[in-house]
C-alpha cells in the first residue's frame, strides 16, 4: 500500500512539476491607468534577490503598472498576471528615455 501511495505522489509531482503558481492579477481586468482590457499570461516569478531602482518603481506605479514583466526569473515559482498593451508601450518609452530598470 505504501508503495502505491509513493508511486501516486511521485506521478502527481511529475505531472504538476515543482513550480507553484500564484495568481497576481488583481481584481479587475481593466487597466486603471489606460482604461483598456488586459490579457492574462503566466510568467516566472522574479528572483528573490531582484530589486529594481526606486525611480523605475515610482514610474511603474504611476505610468505603467501592468507592463510586461521583465526581471531575472525564479524558475521554481510562476505568476499569472494581467498585462496591458498600453502599459507595455509606456514602459518601453520610459526606458528609452531613462535607461533600463
> pLDDT tens, 40-54?
999 999 888 888 899
Q: Does residue 33 sit within a domain?
A: yes
Q: Does residue 59 sit within a domain?
A: yes
Domain tally, the chain: 1
Angle made by CA atoms 76, 44, 19, in degrees to the nearest 5: 30
Cell, residue 6: 509513493
Q: In angstroms, what CA-CA distances link 28 with 7, 36, 67, 82, 84? A: 41, 11, 15, 9, 12
Q: Does residue 80 sit within a domain?
A: yes
Cell, residue 41: 499570461
The domain in which residue 25 lies consists of 19-98
**pLDDT tens digit string along 8-37?**
444 444 444 556 899 999 899 999 999 999
For residue 76, what is the DSSP state? E
pTM of the model: 0.73
Q: Does residue 11 sit within a domain?
A: no
**pLDDT tens digit string along 59-90?**
999 999 999 888 888 888 999 999 999 999 99
Amino acid at each position: 500500500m505504501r508503495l502505491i501511495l509513493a508511486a501516486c505522489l511521485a506521478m502527481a509531482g511529475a505531472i504538476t512539476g515543482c513550480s507553484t503558481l500564484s495568481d497576481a492579477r488583481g481584481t479587475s481586468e481593466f487597466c486603471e491607468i489606460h482604461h483598456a482590457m488586459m490579457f492574462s499570461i503566466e510568467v516566472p516569478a522574479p528572483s528573490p534577490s531582484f530589486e529594481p531602482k526606486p525611480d523605475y518603481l515610482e514610474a511603474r506605479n504611476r505610468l505603467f503598472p501592468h507592463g510586461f514583466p521583465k526581471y531575472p526569473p525564479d524558475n521554481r515559482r510562476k505568476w499569472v498576471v494581467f498585462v496591458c498593451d498600453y502599459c507595455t508601450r509606456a514602459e518601453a518609452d520610459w526606458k528609452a528615455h531613462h535607461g533600463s530598470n
